[in-house]
């Protein structure tokens, strides 16, 4: 480093705002099953590189985060450089650079949820768990470990304040109800979401995001049938049904299609 008038001979203190978490090397081996899955993802698309985002989800399903080895694995399967691959992985919020807890708790703190209590919920959970954003209470990956994060809008504004556990919705939360959810998770229980299937952990969610729903231990049919319609979702439809309101009736037979304009 070039000495300057500010340099006192000691190594400079890293500026915490400027440091970027480095990728961790775990020595993970991605076994035949994962290789087969990666190749199945690649086969879905007209061009192989489109598989990168689902493959990073797949890597997280194995390790609970994206490690340096995960980057190398994706790069190798897709014929990309590790730099190209990590450039993509660092762009997206859902790819975690540090090992995640058994469960990921995401609290919406965007304006509307925050105004309705989301900020208070996040603050309470943060204090209760003794962790901040993207930090884990407990040994990451161990049963009952919980990673906390504040999330941007989760597209459930009519049900705010909302939080998610492993990307399943818990609607209309309060500080108390959110605390109970986290307590249960730490005890190894799985509280029933308002909408979605009971969360089976961050890694299990990531496997589904990679597009795999029929693996041992998964019951896709039951998960699909898990609840989705909150009273808020159905408010308009229910009100219309109660009052007998409908859209204008369609004609008995679909009308003829327009004639094509004459070619010049």
Partner 1 sequence: MTGQLDPLTPVLTRSWLSPRSWTLKTYEELGGYTALRTALTAQPEQVVELVKAAGLRGRGGAGFPTGLKWSFLPPLADKPRYLVINGDEGEPGTCKDIPLMMADPHLLIEGCIITSYAIRSKFCAIYIRGEVLHVIRRVQAAVREAYAKGYLGKNILGSGFDLDIVVHAGAGAYICGEETALLDSLEGRRGQPRLKPPFPAVAGLYACPTVVNNIETIASVPSIVSGGVDWYRSIGTDKSPGTKIFSLSGHVTRPGQYEAPMGTTLRQLLELAGGMKDGIPLKFWTPGGSSTPLFGAGDIDVPLSFDDVAAAGSMLGTTALMLFNETVSVPWAVMKWAEFYKHESCGKCTPCREGTFWMTGILRRIVSGQGTMEDIQTLDDAAYNIFGRAFCALGDGAATSVSSALKLFRSEFVDLVTGVTPPVIGRREMAGAH
Q: Using CB under 8 A, which residues numbered 227 to 246 contact partner 1?
A: 228-229, 231-241, 243, 245-246
- In the bound complex, what is the minimum distance in angstroms from residue 91's beta carbon to partner 1? 4
DSSP classification of residue 71: H
Based on the shown chain and the rule CB under 8 A, indicate whether residue 195 belongs to the binding site for partner 1. yes
222 binds partner 1 per the rule CB under 8 A = no
Q: Pick from 169, 173, 181, 186: which binds partner 1 (CB under 8 A)?
A: 169
Near partner 1 by CB under 8 A, which window of 7-15, 24-32, 184-192, 218-226? Answer: 218-226
Three-state DSSP class for 61?
A: helix
Residues in 50-109 that interact with partner 1 by CB under 8 A: 50-54, 56-57, 78, 87-88, 91-95, 106, 109
Contact between 104 and 147 (Cβ < 8 Å) = yes
Compute the least distance from the CB of residue 3 to partner 1, in Å. Answer: 30
Sequence-ordered list of residues with C-beta below 8 angstroms from that of 97, at least 6 positions apart, any chain:
21, 22, 23, 24, 65, 66, 90
From the CB of 4, what's the least distance to partner 1, in Å?
Answer: 26
Pick the closer one to partner 1 by CB: 117 or 143. 117
- The secondary structure element, H or E, covering residue 29 is none
Q: Quick one: which of 23, 30, 122, 170 contacts partner 1 (CB under 8 A)? A: 122
Kindly tell me which residue out of 72, 128, 158, 192 binds partner 1, with binding defined by CB under 8 A: 158
129: helix, strand or coil: helix
CB nearer to partner 1: pick between 2 and 264: 264
Q: Considering the rule CB under 8 A, would residue 119 count as an interface residue with partner 1?
A: yes
Question: Is 182 a binder of partner 1 (CB under 8 A)?
Answer: no
Cα-based distances in Å from 33 to 19, 124, 184: 36, 41, 33
Expressed in percent and rounded to 5, the helix, strand and coil fractions of the chain are 40, 10, 55
Q: Does 184 bind partner 1 (CB under 8 A)?
A: no
Surface-to-core class of residue 72, CB atoms within 10 Å of its CB (0-12 exposed, 13-18 middle, 19+ buried)? middle
- Does the protein bind partner 1 through residue 153 (CB under 8 A)? yes
Is residue 220 involved in binding partner 1 (CB under 8 A)? Answer: yes
Beta carbons of 77 and 55 less than 8 angstroms apart: yes
Q: How far is the CB of 30 from partner 1 (least distance, A)?
A: 18
Q: How far is the CB of 42 from partner 1 (least distance, A)?
A: 10
Q: Are 178 and 107 in contact (CB under 8 A)?
A: yes
**Token representation of residue 41:** 């993802």
Other CB atoms closer than 10 Å to residue 190's CB: what's the count?
A: 18
Count of residues that bind partner 1 according to CB under 8 A:
90
**Beta carbons of 151 and 207 less than 8 angstroms apart:** no
Q: To the nearest whole angstrom, how small is the minimum distance from the Cβ of residue 1 to partner 1?
A: 27
């Amino acid at each position: 480093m070039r000495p300057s008038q500010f340099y006192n001979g000691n190594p400079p203190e890293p500026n915490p705002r400027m440091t970027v978490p480095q990728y961790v090397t775990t020595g993970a081996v991605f076994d035949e099953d994962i290789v087969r899955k990666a190749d199945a993802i690649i086969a879905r698309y007209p061009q192989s590189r489109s598989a990168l985002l689902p493959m990073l989800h797949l890597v997280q399903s194995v390790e609970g985060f994206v490690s340096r080895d995960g980057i190398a694995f994706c790069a190798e399967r897709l014929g990309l450089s590790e730099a190209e691959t990590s450039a993509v992985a660092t762009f997206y919020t859902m790819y975690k650079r540090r090992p995640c807890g058994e469960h990921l708790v995401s609290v919406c703190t965007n304006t509307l949820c925050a105004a309705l209590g989301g900020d208070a919920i996040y603050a309470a959970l943060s204090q209760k768990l003794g962790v901040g954003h993207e930090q884990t209470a407990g040994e990451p990956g161990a049963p009952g470990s919980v990673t906390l994060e504040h999330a941007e809008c989760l597209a459930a504004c009519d049900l705010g304040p909302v939080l998610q556990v492993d990307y399943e919705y818990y609607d209309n939360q309060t500080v108390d109800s959110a605390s109970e959810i986290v307590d249960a998770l730490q005890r190894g229980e799985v509280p029933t979401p308002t909408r979605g299937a009971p969360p089976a952990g961050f890694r299990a969610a990531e496997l589904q995001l990679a597009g795999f729903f029929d693996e041992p231990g998964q019951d896709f049919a039951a998960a699909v049938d898990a609840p989705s319609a909150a009273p808020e979702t159905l408010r308009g439809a229910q009100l219309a049904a109660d009052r007998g309101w409908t859209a204008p009736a369609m004609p008995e037979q679909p009308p003829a299609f327009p004639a094509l304009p004459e070619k010049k």
